[in-house]
């Protein structure tokens, strides 16, 4: 028997357990996706869909050669001459699409959102999967600090639309790319005498990407960093003005934030603003979503001209965890209005036609079908009708056909009435609102 591979899950019509996680059913996913799309529409973000496969170089350059994603989490796909990657995130692909299709040619800012699967070969655990789903926005072609505020306001609005409370927004500025080298040098200088106390990973990061050291979870390393040079002290005046402007906009919007100088984010492309929305209700994987400004990404992936931009990505599985923790009810499968039960050859043929006509009239209609070896008895079909969850069983036999009618049994109440076939759609619709 084949099974889903580690860190992936099926989404079934009904909610189920998979590898210790509760996987909501497709109606819940559709609901969540619809709410996200609705918020995006009101914020004037337009949907973009990019391929699951991208050139590996796009991700290596876009996300950054020294990041965890690129060094150990990519699912690559080899073809004869090329290597592709299953997208680990969508910002670099959106930037590729923006450049490829000249979406900025009209001038002004371009507001895009996406929703779809991402792939990372991480160690699966609660809230962490190898195929997971992100929604996010990208606001491209503007360095306006109001764009950063708009993106954060959008992130906050999505969780508000779901009634998620108890979240915390962490905020920081990384300054401009030009501000980094001096900080890197100062940090290296500060930590060099303590190299022996650093983990192997941190020693490597000190050499390749010292910013990443700042968000270490290791208590001893945190202590070493307590009196280390602060990134904030190296941020240039322009980036600092941008940051102050953003904070004033957030204040005006009444969006609370906590300034956190250790927030650096795992991806290389960030400049200036970085932020993360977290919730304690999620356990170890506390991040609902995160993002920032990435003014250097376009050039990193081959653009001649810079494209200042800001965006975020948020995990749908994490959103489900937050909703579950708050006991928010999500839709389960809708009940069919009717399930057709037919006795005899003529009635069986008539039932298929009737199903077609009722569906054309807008009703949701199931047909009781025979199981292998189960037979077509009235009893077997009524069992099938009950299993379908339908509100009504519509019974058709020779007797009913000769009268041009059907028996309509209310499967909740157990009552049955005779309804002329041409009045059936109306009768089933009228009765459908209850329960
Ligand atoms: P990142 O692109 O790493 O900033 O991730 C953005 C958001 O995507 C995170 O805040 C999570 O909500 C979600 N996310 C990232 N990686 C995973 C994963 N492996 N499984 C589930 N959700 C994830």
For the CA of 130, the closest atom of ligand 1 is 19
What's the pLDDT score for residue 48?
98
pLDDT by residue (tens digit) across 335-363? 999 999 999 999 999 999 999 999 999 99
What's the pLDDT score for residue 226?
86
**Is pLDDT at 257 greater than 70 in this prediction?**
yes
CA distances from 49 to 53, 139, 241, 343 (A): 12, 15, 35, 48
Structural domain for 244, as ranges: 16-176+235-325
Are 317 and 342 members of one domain? no
Are 298 and 162 members of one domain? yes
Q: Which residues line ligand 1 (CB under 6 A)?
A: 89, 120, 122, 127-129, 132, 134, 266, 287-290, 313-315, 317-318
Q: Cα–chain-centroid distance for residue 329?
A: 18
- Burial class from Cβ neighbours inside 10 Å (0-12, 13-18, 19+) for residue 225 reads buried
What DSSP string runs through 247-303? HHHHHHHT---EE-TT---S-TT-EEEEEEEEEGGGTT--EEEEEEE-TTHHHHTT-
Are 268 and 417 members of one domain? no
For the CA of 69, the closest atom of ligand 1 is 3
* Neighbouring residues of 15: CB distance < 8 A, sequence distance ≥ 6: 22, 23, 24, 25, 28, 332
**What average pLDDT does range 373-395 have in this prediction?**
93
CA distances from 193 to 140, 190, 224 (A): 42, 7, 10
Are 311 and 349 members of one domain? no
Percentage of the chain modeled with pLDDT above 90: 77
- Best residue for ligand 1 mutational test, from 18, 289, 313 (most atoms within 8 Å of Cβ): 313
**Spatial distance between the Cα atoms of 122 and 299, rounded to a whole number of angstroms:** 28
Are 318 and 344 members of one domain? no
Are 71 and 168 members of one domain? yes
Is the distance from CB of 277 to CB of 287 less than 8 angstroms?
A: yes
Are 147 and 172 members of one domain? yes
Are 119 and 254 members of one domain? yes
Higher pLDDT, 183 or 244: 244
What spacing in Å lies between the alpha carbon of 248 and ligand 1's midpoint? 28
Query: Which residue in 123, 148, 134 sits closest to 294, CA to CA?
Result: 148
For the CA of 289, the closest atom of ligand 1 is 10
**Spatial distance between the Cα atoms of 125 and 283, rounded to a whole number of angstroms:** 11
**What average pLDDT does range 136-161 have in this prediction?**
98
End position of a domain, from candidates 291, 325, 359: 325
User: Is the pTM above the cut of 0.85?
Assistant: yes
Are 64 and 133 members of one domain? yes
Give the pLDDT band of residue 214 (cuts 50, 70, 90).
confident
What spacing in Å lies between the alpha carbon of 70 and ligand 1's midpoint? 15
Higher pLDDT, 18 or 363: 363
**Spatial distance between the Cα atoms of 340 and 338, rounded to a whole number of angstroms:** 6
**Is pLDDT at 181 greater than 90 in this prediction?**
no
* Residue 124 covered by a domain: yes
**Spatial distance between the Cα atoms of 173 and 270, rounded to a whole number of angstroms:** 9
What's the pLDDT score for residue 285?
80
Are 305 and 362 members of one domain? no
What's the pLDDT score for residue 306?
94
**What average pLDDT does range 36-46 have in this prediction?**
98
What's the pLDDT score for residue 431?
58
For the CA of 288, the closest atom of ligand 1 is 12
- Best residue for ligand 1 mutational test, from 315, 317, 319, 322 (most atoms within 8 Å of Cβ): 315
What spacing in Å lies between the alpha carbon of 87 and ligand 1's midpoint? 13
Higher pLDDT, 285 or 55: 55
* Residue 199 covered by a domain: no
Protein residue with least CA distance to atom 9, ligand 1 = 289
| Helix, strand, or coil (residue 425) | helix
Are 63 and 84 members of one domain? yes
- Best residue for ligand 1 mutational test, from 133, 311, 318 (most atoms within 8 Å of Cβ): 318
End-to-end CA distance of the chain: 39
| Helix, strand, or coil (residue 342) | strand
* Residue 146 covered by a domain: yes
What's the pLDDT score for residue 105?
94
> DSSP 3-state helix, strand, coil percentages of the chain (rounded to 5)?
40, 20, 35
- The pair of structure tokens assigned to 114 is 């996406």
What's the pLDDT score for residue 432?
54
For the CA of 265, the closest atom of ligand 1 is 4
End position of a domain, from candidates 269, 293, 325: 325
* Residue 393 covered by a domain: yes
Give the pLDDT band of residue 220 (cuts 50, 70, 90).
confident
What spacing in Å lies between the alpha carbon of 315 and ligand 1's midpoint? 5
Q: Mean pLDDT lowest for which of 10-19, 185-194, 262-271?
A: 262-271
CATH number of the domain enclosing 83: 3.30.930.10
Strands 287-293 and 271-279: antiparallel
Instruction: Report helix angle 237-253 to 145-161, nearest 10.
Output: 40
* Residue 351 covered by a domain: yes
CATH number of the domain enclosing 408: 3.40.50.800
pLDDT by residue (tens digit) across 413-431? 999 999 999 999 999 987 5
Name the domain count of the chain.
2
**Is pLDDT at 433 greater than 80 in this prediction?**
no
What spacing in Å lies between the alpha carbon of 74 and ligand 1's midpoint? 14
What's the pLDDT score for residue 384?
94
* Residue 202 covered by a domain: no
* Residue 181 covered by a domain: no
Query: Which residue in 145, 114, 112, 90 sits closest to 269, CA to CA?
Result: 90
End position of a domain, from candidates 299, 325, 351: 325
pLDDT by residue (tens digit) across 307-325? 999 999 999 999 999 999 9
**Spatial distance between the Cα atoms of 147 and 272, rounded to a whole number of angstroms:** 13
Are 349 and 312 members of one domain? no
* Residue 100 covered by a domain: yes
**Is pLDDT at 158 greater than 60 in this prediction?**
yes
Q: What is the mean pLDDT of the chain?
A: 93
Q: Mean pLDDT lowest for which of 118-122, 237-241, 285-289?
A: 285-289
């Amino acid at each position: 028997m084949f099974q889903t591979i580690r860190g992936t899950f099926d989404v079934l019509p009904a909610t189920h357990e998979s590898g210790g996680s509760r996987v909501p059913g497709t109606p819940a996913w559709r609901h969540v996706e619809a709410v996200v799309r609705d918020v995006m529409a009101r914020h004037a973000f337009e949907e973009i869909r990019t391929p699951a496969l991208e050139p590996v170089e796009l991700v290596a350059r876009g996300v950054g050669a020294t990041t965890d994603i690129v060094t150990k989490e990519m699912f690559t796909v080899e073809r004869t001459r090329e290597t592709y990657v299953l997208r680990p995130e969508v910002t670099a692909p959106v930037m590729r699409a923006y450049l490829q299709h000249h979406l900025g040619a009209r001038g002004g800012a371009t507001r895009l959102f996406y929703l779809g699967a991402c792939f990372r070969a991480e160690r699966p655990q609660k809230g962490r999967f190898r195929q997971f789903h992100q929604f996010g926005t990208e606001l491209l072609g503007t360095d306006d600090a109001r764009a950063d505020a708009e993106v954060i306001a959008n992130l906050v609005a999505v969780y508000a639309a779901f009634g998620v409370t108890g979240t915390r927004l962490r905020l920081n500025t990384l300054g401009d790319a030009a501000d980094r080298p001096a900080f890197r040098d100062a940090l290296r200088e500060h930590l060099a005498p303590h190299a022996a106390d650093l983990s192997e990973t941190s020693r490597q990061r000190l050499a390749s990407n010292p910013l990443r050291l700042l968000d270490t979870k290791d208590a001893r390393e945190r202590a070493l960093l307590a009196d280390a040079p602060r990134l904030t002290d190296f941020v240039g005046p322009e980036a600092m003005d941008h940051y102050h402007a953003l904070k004033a906009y957030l204040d005006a919007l009444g969006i609370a934030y906590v300034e956190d100088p250790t927030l650096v984010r795992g991806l290389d492309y960030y400049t200036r603003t970085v932020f993360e929305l977290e919730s304690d209700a999620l356990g170890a994987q506390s991040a609902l979503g995160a993002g920032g400004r990435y003014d250097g990404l376009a050039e990193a992936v081959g653009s001649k001209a810079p494209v200042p931009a800001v965006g975020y990505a948020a995990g749908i599985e994490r959103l489900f965890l937050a909703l579950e923790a708050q006991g928010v009810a999500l839709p389960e499968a809708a009940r069919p209005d009717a399930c057709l039960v037919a006795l005899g050859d003529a009635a069986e043929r008539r039932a298929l036609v009737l199903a077609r006509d009722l569906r054309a009239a807008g009703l949701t209609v199931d047909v009781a079908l025979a199981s292998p070896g189960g037979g077509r008895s009235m009893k077997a079909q009524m069992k099938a009708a009950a299993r379908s969850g339908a509100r009504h069983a519509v019974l058709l036999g020779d007797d009913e056909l000769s009268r041009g009618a059907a028996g309509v049994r209310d499967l909740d109440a157990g009552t049955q009435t005779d309804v002329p076939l041409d009045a059936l759609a109306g009768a089933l619709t009228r009765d459908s609102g209850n329960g």
